[in-house]
Amino acid sequence: MSLAAEAFVSQMAAAEPWPDNAALYQPLKDDQILLSDCASSLAVQAYLRMCNLPVQVCCRANAEHMSPSGKVPFIHVGNQVVSELGPIVQFTKAKVRGHVSGWGFSSSDLQLCPEGSAVSPQGHSLSEGLDDVQRAEMKAYMELVNNMLLTAELYIQWCDDATAAQITRPRYSSPYSWPLNHILAYQKQWEVRRKMRAIGWAGKSLEQVYEDVGQCCQALSQRLGTQQYFFNKQPTELDALVFGHLFTILTTQLTSDELGEKIKSYSNLLSFCRRIEQNYFQEQERTFGPLPGRQSLL
Amino acid sequence: MAALMDLSCWGGDWGLPSVHPESLIVLAYAKFSGAKLSIQPVDWTWRTLTETVPALHCEGSTVTEPAQILNLLRKQQYNADYNLSAKQGADTMAYMAMLEEKLRPALLHTFWVDTKNYTSVTKPWFSSRCPFPLNFFVPGWQASTALSLILLTKGESPLNSIADVEAKIYNEAKECLNLLSFRLGSSLFFFGNTPASLDAFVFGYIAPLLKATLPNGQLQQHLKQLTNLCQFCDTILKTYFDVSTQGKAMGSANGDHLLLGRHVFYSSLHLLPGGLPVRQDAVDTNLQKLTQLVNKESNLIEKMDDNLRNSPQHRPCGGPSKQSSSLSEKNSTPA
């Protein structure tokens, strides 16, 4: 989308309150969705829950092709369709909260907000309280996660032949019949491998990728330290993104457990994931639906 | 520990020891950590084609990416990061990722994809540094690599054109520069008073952008407004590279006197405002605006001169237009 169109869309977005029927689209949960897509989707869901914005998760086999940028997840809010965490964060910042009662805040369950969670009125961003240096750090760490964790996930899924043959290609093409499933799977693999070649990851071995993930987790663990969230007591989009990726890696089974082991060696990251899961996904499960986790890819 | 290490890199110009960002990163880090490298510029050799630059040759093994080279130097006990805390080390990784994701595509675009810059600055420079017949295709091959990297990482669907992505990557790059400026604040280096690997990376990416003369340089204009980043570059150049106004190459060059002479010769031929140290200490905003207005006026005067020269009544005379162009270049120096 060009910049002028984006500015226009955010102007329109600012005019309307968040509707009740906002939907988030992702590939099929049990059969089709891959590690990287699930991580991105979970990050967006966590972010929206932190902002107290209700959204319905819809699983569609062609979610990737419906998305305006070709990447999942994407949200359908009112008249607009926005994909990927970065644009969604900007979109929600522009939104103005409508009438409180129109959303159902009167439910007694939701009035009790768990300790440490950010009760943010809509239209406010989670990173409002940060100063410039902190915001720079937050953006830098989000890029670190995107650059390292997401790229490593893509590499392991598509560039490692064992995983690609046993898990990724069958899962990616499961909704389609022969010969479309082969064509789409190999096309996607070719695209991802091309991208890896361009950014210089094609020459890496699997061990090097695991080491990079380990370094990334070490950096995140050192940054988190003993705090509850990355920036003081309030979660931000960085927390949502890190949670999405780490939780998905921990609860997904691949051909080897090494990724999960890397994360488990940092106890503060584990407790961070558990804390966000408890605060944002379990207590509101009745209203928002179950957590899309605990899947085993075998 | 004191193993002999050779570094292959591109040569220098515009007041920098090297114009290639990745090579510059390694050179800066070597200076910060005190490593002694013997520099082998690949200019005018066939290694422009055969070798991935920069490359560090040490005891028979070769390491290529800047991050890997820095790792190797650290293993050889040349560590500029030893007094960083764990959190600062984590911050380094995060900022390096941000530089690569947000700033590098726009830098590649500015130098290699933007037509005006490529045809007037990058391609002549690199072609002149490659032996025949490589000068015909090495720059073109690097340009197409740059374009494909930008499209694959930033293009939203596989077949998007570069025009759609341009605005997005420049916006992200400007935001990244702003964030770096916020983080640097008023301190000398990013982590206190001694430079570390993050400073090397930032310097490597920013210095060519700052010092090159680009006809189409919106990112350069933006960078020049961030005075603390400009000062940061100049401090490093003055302290670690001992750069004089003629654009002399770095001190640890290994006997390439002929190349040194050529560098001095070429850089003294151009009236490069970027070669002079930029004094940004007391720049008033109004003065900046005034200078920009003066520049615009002198550009208009130049155009009028061109029109006059092209009109059939007047014969072409080169004197007044050359004077006005050198005047306008001198005016743009303090900006």
Helix (H, G, I), strand (E, B) or coil at B117: helix
Size of interface A-B (CB pairs under 8 A): 79
d(CA B200, CA B202): 6
Task: Collect all residues of chain B within an 8 Å Cβ-Cβ radius of residue A133.
Answer: 182-183, 185
Which token pair is B36? 């002694």
Beta bridge pairs of residue B8: B40, B55
Task: Collect all residues of chain B within an 8 Å Cβ-Cβ radius of residue A219.
Answer: 89-90, 93-94
- Which secondary-structure segment (H or E) carries A58? strand A56-59
For B176, nearest residue in chain A (alpha carbons): A136
Q: Do B98 and A143 touch (CB under 8 A)?
A: yes
Task: Collect all residues of chain A within an 8 Å Cβ-Cβ radius of residue B94.
Answer: 137, 140-141, 143-144, 219, 223
Task: Collect all residues of chain B within an 8 Å Cβ-Cβ radius of residue A195.
Answer: 152-153
Task: Collect all residues of chain B within an 8 Å Cβ-Cβ radius of residue A132.
Answer: 179, 182
Chain B residues 30-69 with a CB less than 8 Å from chain A: 65
Query: What's the pLDDT score for residue B69?
Result: 85
Query: What's the pLDDT score for residue A4?
Result: 65
Q: Is A1 exposed, middle or buried (0-12, 13-18, 19+ CB in 10 A)?
A: middle
What are the residue ranges spanned by the domains of chain A?
3-280
For B180, nearest residue in chain A (alpha carbons): A136
pTM for the full predicted model: 0.75
Query: What's the pLDDT score for residue A108?
Result: 39
Contacts of B61 (CB under 8 A, 6+ apart): none
- A141 touches B at CB < 8 Å: yes
Task: Collect all residues of chain B within an 8 Å Cβ-Cβ radius of residue A216.
Answer: 93
Cβ B12 vs Cβ B249: under 8 Å: yes
Could you read off the pLDDT tens digit of each residue along chain B, which spans 335 residues? 456 788 888 888 888 888 888 888 988 998 888 888 888 888 777 777 777 778 888 877 888 888 888 888 888 888 888 888 888 889 999 999 999 989 999 999 999 988 888 999 888 888 888 888 888 888 888 898 888 888 888 776 645 667 778 888 898 999 999 999 988 888 888 888 888 889 999 999 999 999 888 888 889 999 999 999 999 999 988 888 875 444 434 433 333 444 444 444 444 444 434 444 444 555 566 677 777 777 777 777 777 777 777 777 655 554 444 444 444 444 444 54
For A84, nearest residue in chain B (alpha carbons): B156
Low-confidence ranges of chain A (pLDDT < 50): 1, 97-121, 286-298
Please give the CATH topology (third level) of the domain spanning A3-280.
Glutathione S-transferase Yfyf (Class Pi); Chain A, domain 2 (1.20.1050)
Cβ B329 vs Cβ B273: under 8 Å: yes
Query: What's the pLDDT score for residue A8?
Result: 67
Interface residue of A84, A137, A190 to substitute, partner B, most B CBs within 10 Å = A137
Which token pair is B335? 């900006």
Helix (H, G, I), strand (E, B) or coil at A283: coil
Cα-based angle A211, A212, A214 (whole degrees, multiple of 5) = 65
d(CA B147, CA A122): 40
- B160 touches A at CB < 8 Å: no
Q: Which of B86, B158, B175 sits opposite A191 (nearest CB)?
A: B158
Contacts of B175 (CB under 8 A, 6+ apart): A139, B102
CB atoms within 10 A of CB A12: 13
Max intra-chain CA distance, chain B: 74
Chain B nearest-CA distance from A137, in A, is 7
